[in-house]
Chain A
Amino acid sequence: MTEKVFDEYYEKSLMQGGTTCCPGCGGPLFWRMALQALGPKTVIYGDGPCAMCAIRSIKLPHFNLHFSFVADASSGMAAAYRAKGIEGLTLVSSAGDGATGDISFGKVSAAAERNENMLQICVDNEAYMNTGIQKSGLTPFGAWTTTTPLGKEAVKKEIPLIIAQHNVPYVATASVAYPRDLIAKIEKAKDIEGFKYIHTVMPCPTGWRFNPAKSVEVVRLGVETWTWPLYEIEGGVLKLNMKPKQKPIEDYLKTQNRFRHLTEDQIKYVQENINAKRERLLANDGKRVIL
Chain B
Amino acid sequence: MSFTRMMEGNEAAAYGAMVSRADVVPAYPITPQTELISHIATLISEGKMKAEYIKVEGEHTAMAAACGASAAGARVFTATASQGMAYMEEALWMPPGMRLPIVMCMVNRAMAPLGGLRPDHNDALMQRDNGWIQLYCENSQEVLDTVIMAYKIAEDKDIYLPVAPCYDGYFVSATATVTTVPDQAEVDAFLPPYKHEMYSLLPWDYKRPARSANAAQSRYEVQTAHEKAKEVIEEVDKEFGKRFGRSYDGLLEEYACDDVDAVLMTMGSMTGTVRDKIDEMQAEGKRIGLIKLRGFRPFPSEELREMAKKYHAIAVVDRNNSYGSAGGGVVSMEAARALYTLDDRPLLLNFHVGLNGSDVTLRQVEYMADKTLEAVSKGKVDEVVDWVELHDLGEVL
Contact = CB atoms under 8 A, between A and B. Distances in A.
Interface in B60-77: 60-61, 64-74, 76
B65 A61 contact: no
A80 B72 contact: yes
Contacts of B72: 63, 76-77, 80-81, 84
Interface in A21-54: 40-43, 45
B201 A43 contact: yes
A170 interface: no
B344 to A, nearest CB: 49
B206 interface: yes
A40 B76 contact: no
Nearest to A83: B23
Given A72-B61, A75-B54, A40 B74 contact: no
Interface residues of B, number: 34
A81 B68 CA distance: 10
B203 A42 contact: yes
Contact of A84 (B54, B74, B203, B206): B74
A74 interface: yes
B138 to A, nearest CB: 32
Contacts of A109: 57
A114 B58 CA distance: 13
B191 to A, nearest CB: 17
Nearest to A43: B201
A76 B27 CA distance: 11
A60 interface: yes
Contacts, number: 113
Contacts of A110: 56-58, 61
B243 interface: no
A226 interface: no
Contact of B201 (A69, A75, A77, A106): A77
Contacts of B58: 106-107, 110
A107 B61 contact: yes
B208 interface: yes
Contacts of B90: 66, 68
Contacts of A40: 203
B51 interface: yes
B74 A65 contact: no
A72 B64 contact: yes
Given A69-B64, A73-B68, A75-B65, A82 B91 contact: no
Interface string B192-207: 0000000011110010
Given A73-B64, A77-B72, A61 B202 contact: yes
Contacts of B76: 76
A43 B201 CA distance: 7
Given A69-B91, A76-B66, A79-B24, A43 B203 contact: yes
Contact of B67 (A60, A68, A73, A86): A73
Contacts of B23: 79-80, 83-84
Contact of B24 (A61, A69, A80, A89): A80
Contact of B52 (A61, A83, A107): A83
Contacts of B363: none
Nearest to A84: B73
Interface in A66-103: 66, 68-69, 72-77, 79-84, 86, 89
B57 A63 contact: no
Given A72-B56, A75-B26, A65 B94 contact: yes
Nearest to B66: A76
Q: Quick one: which of B54, B91, B200 has the most chain A CB within 10 A?
A: B54
Contact of A76 (B60, B68, B203, B208): B68
A79 B201 contact: no
B203 A41 contact: yes
A84 B73 CA distance: 8
Contacts of B61: 72, 75, 107, 110
Interface of A: 40-43, 45, 60-61, 63, 65-66, 68-69, 72-77, 79-84, 86, 89, 106-107, 109-110, 113-114
Closest 4 CB pairs of A and B: A73-B68, A76-B68, A76-B65, A76-B69
30 contacts: A43-B201, A60-B203, A60-B206, A63-B68, A66-B90, A68-B90, A72-B56, A72-B68, A73-B71, A75-B26, A75-B68, A76-B26, A76-B54, A76-B64, A76-B74, A77-B72, A79-B24, A79-B69, A80-B68, A80-B69, A80-B70, A80-B72, A82-B52, A83-B24, A83-B51, A84-B23, A89-B203, A106-B58, A107-B57, A114-B54
Given A80-B69, A80-B73, A84-B74, 9 more contacts: A43-B201, A43-B202, A69-B64, A72-B60, A76-B66, A76-B70, A83-B24, A84-B72, A107-B60
